Structure 1
Amino acid sequence: MSVSAGETTLLRWRIVIPFLLTGMIWGSTWWVITDQIDGAAPSWSVAVRFAIATPAMFLLARVMGRSLAIGRNGHILAIAIGIAQFCANFNFVYRAELHLTSGIVAVMFTMLIVSNAAFGWWLLGQRITRGFVVGTVVALSGIALLLIHEAGLNPLGGSIPLGILWAVFGILAASIANVVQANETGRALPMVSLLAWAMLYGTIADFALAWFTAGPPQLPDRQSFWLGIGWLALAGSVVTFPLHYTLVREIGAGRAAYNGIVTVIVAMLLSTLFEDYRWTTQTVIGAVLALIGLVIALRARQTPPPALKQAA
């Protein structure tokens, strides 16, 4: 069947707009988080973010005509996703940015595909190709160069090893959530509805964790904090998730994952502009190796890891 010029153009923009928009928004969120943890407990910043995002996601599900009835197994799945993705993952990320510049954390999170592949191999029997391993080694070499440079400067005055540890925990938490989403129950449910319930359960866990670790909420009253909360909750959570999954359906999970390259470029640019990140020959080589390794790993991956199908 032939496709008219109008349909071809429509398909092109249906791909280009979600691809660039999700990459740019997610790239900006890493830097916005730095203001969220300035004078506020990280756990409370996360809790308030998803307290705003959750009703917006429920509203979006209703506007899209999706049923909110997901059944008993759906709620069990949503609890697991909510605790892993919207509580553990984000709490680890916010804490990592207390010690590492936002662009470095963003680069580290490109390695989410590695942990997803490992969990996919272990739990789902998905094959890992030789090319994927080669790309991973190249990317990890580049990330190592960036982290060595970060440790030498220590621009935030924190603990570089602790920041790396928090980031790794965040990657693992996200991977667990994404592998869980790939089960039969998750595939049978409307994505927006599942996300809405998962955010609700995650928000409950966020508030409990925040109260336990930081006591009653004490949040800044500066305008930038609340504008940042709005951007992270609405643009960084509610807008991008549905766009990303639409993109996955249009061009496939593997190609959709390439918006991670846009994310890293935007994150590193903002880190350079606003966090005084200093580029050297070592960091340029490291960034290039990380991106080249990511491309090699994605191109070599014949069966995309679960997270590339289900979350970002």
Structure 2
Amino acid sequence: MSDPAPPHALLRPRIAVPFVLTALIWGSTWYVIRGQIAEVPAQWAVAYRFALAAPAMFALALLTGKSLAMPRRAHGLAIAMGLFQFSANFTFVYLSEEHLTSGIVALIIGMMFVTNAILGRLLLGQPVTRRFMIGSAIALAGIGLLLANEARTAPLGGNVAWGAALALGGMLSASLANVLQAGPAGRDVPLVSLLSWSILYGVGIDVLVASAMVGPPQVPAAPLFWAGTAWLALVGTVVTFPLYYQLVRELGAGRAAYNGVLVIVIAMTISTLLEGYRWSGLAIAGAALAVLGMVVALRARQVAPAPASAPSPE
């Protein structure tokens, strides 16, 4: 009698728990960002977040017994991750929320599984199946409908096209960092150590960008701003990024980004309750298509079966 098939990767507790926890936390952070950019320019809000996250991540590395010493190529990777993940990605995202509701920004970023999969294929040789691409196409059609609805009814009164472009820039930046850290240079060092240095380098870049774009630091006195910054830095960064990047390494860059489905549900719910997001027929159809497409893509195999004969892609 043959052994029963192993459970789907996402059903295994060591995968499911961090997968769901990360999604729940990130689903809540999108709305918190809105309060941050209401107090200071987005560029300084990003810098403050990671200036607080960096020492906390170093402390986590030390508490877990991880060495902070890394070879030169790992530091090169950390600089790249600081640039793409902890500077460009978040700067684009924070700026996009000046024009789009937080739920829509979350939905666009949630499509990162498409760019993750493509970059994972190009840079790491990870397979992309036909079913994955079909699901991605369906989800992208849904995104298009949601953006069309946003252009018609956006409660923030911002520039929807510019906001969408900024969110897409953030998505591409994050995808590149996701895939780069899963390569050989990243796997040679403890993940928490790599993240510690990456965030530190990112803070340096963030301060330079903020100073060049909006001038000297602006320090708000509102306790709520600093409470939000602490949540985003300690919970939304130090807790989640080690969990998420480990998922990228175990599931592959494309599949790890599927937690965006749950993130979107939470973020859109918050946006509806607190930002007055309006669910027209167009928006409902777009959301249904986006989620359907993600589910279709999720059911695609992560790794193509061994070619005993000539299996067709899903």
Q: Distance in 2 between matches of 1:203 and 1:213?
A: 15
C-alpha change, 1:301 and 1:167, in structure 2 (3 Å) is farther
AA paired with 2:226? W
The residue aligned with 2:226 is: 226
Q: Deviations over 1:90-149 (max 9, x none)?
A: 000001111010000111112111112222233334432211111011101111111111
The residue aligned with 1:302 is: 302
CA contact (8 A) 1:26 1:263 kept: yes
Instruction: Measure how far apart 1:207 and its partner are.
Output: 0.5
CA contact (8 A) 1:47 1:206 kept: yes
Instruction: Measure how far apart 1:236 and its partner are.
Output: 0.1
Q: Distance in 1 between matches of 2:240 and 2:198?
A: 16
Range that drifts further, 252-261 or 53-62: 252-261
Instruction: Measure how far apart 1:67 and its partner are.
Output: 0.5
- Counterparts of 1:24-43 in structure 2, within 5 Å, are 24-43=24-43
Instruction: Measure how far apart 1:186 and its partner are.
Output: 0.7
Instruction: Measure how far apart 1:246 and its partner are.
Output: 5.4
> In structure 1, the residue corresponding to 2:111 is in which secondary structure?
helix
Instruction: Measure how far apart 1:296 and its partner are.
Output: 1.3
Q: Distance in 1 between matches of 2:247 and 2:175?
A: 20
Range that drifts further, 252-261 or 46-55: 252-261
Instruction: Measure how far apart 1:151 and its partner are.
Output: 0.3
Q: Deviations over 1:154-185 (max 9, x none)?
A: 21111111001101111111122122212211
Q: How many aligned positions are there?
A: 293
Q: Distance in 1 between matches of 2:193 and 2:280?
A: 46
> In structure 2, the residue corresponding to 1:91 is in which secondary structure?
helix
AA paired with 1:119? L
The residue aligned with 1:96 is: 96
The residue aligned with 2:309 is: none
**Structure 2: where are the runs of 5+ without partners?**
1-10, 305-314
1:288 matches 2:288 = yes
1:141 matches 2:103 = no
Root mean square deviation, CA, Å: 2.0
CA contact (8 A) 2:30 2:106 kept: yes
**Structure 1: where are the runs of 5+ without partners?**
1-10, 305-312
Range that drifts further, 233-242 or 51-60: 233-242
C-alpha change, 1:292 and 1:276, in structure 2 (3 Å) is same
Q: Distance in 2 between matches of 1:258 and 1:104?
A: 16
CA contact (8 A) 2:113 2:256 kept: no
Q: Deviations over 1:7-58 (max 9, x none)?
A: xxxx976555433321111001111111111131100000000000000000
Q: Distance in 1 between matches of 2:290 and 2:94?
A: 22
Q: Distance in 2 between matches of 1:15 and 1:184?
A: 22
The residue aligned with 1:69 is: 69
Q: Distance in 2 between matches of 1:101 and 1:67?
A: 41
Instruction: Measure how far apart 1:240 and its partner are.
Output: 1.1
Instruction: Measure how far apart 1:247 and its partner are.
Output: 5.5
The residue aligned with 2:173 is: 173
- Counterparts of 1:254-273 in structure 2, within 5 Å, are 256-273=256-273
Range that drifts further, 224-233 or 290-299: 290-299
Q: Deviations over 1:173-208 (max 9, x none)?
A: 112212221221111110000000000000000001
Q: Percent identity?
A: 55
C-alpha change, 1:87 and 1:181, in structure 2 (3 Å) is same
Q: Distance in 2 between matches of 1:123 and 1:290?
A: 26
Range that drifts further, 135-144 or 218-227: 218-227
AA paired with 2:212? F
TM-score by length of 1: 0.88
Instruction: Measure how far apart 1:303 and its partner are.
Output: 4.0
CA contact (8 A) 2:89 2:174 kept: yes
AA paired with 2:222? R
> In structure 1, the residue corresponding to 2:48 is in which secondary structure?
helix
The residue aligned with 1:210 is: 210
Q: Distance in 2 between matches of 1:43 and 1:274?
A: 24
Instruction: Measure how far apart 1:298 and its partner are.
Output: 2.5
Q: Distance in 2 between matches of 1:160 and 1:247?
A: 32
C-alpha change, 1:184 and 1:246, in structure 2 (3 Å) is closer
The residue aligned with 1:19 is: 19
CA contact (8 A) 1:110 1:294 kept: no
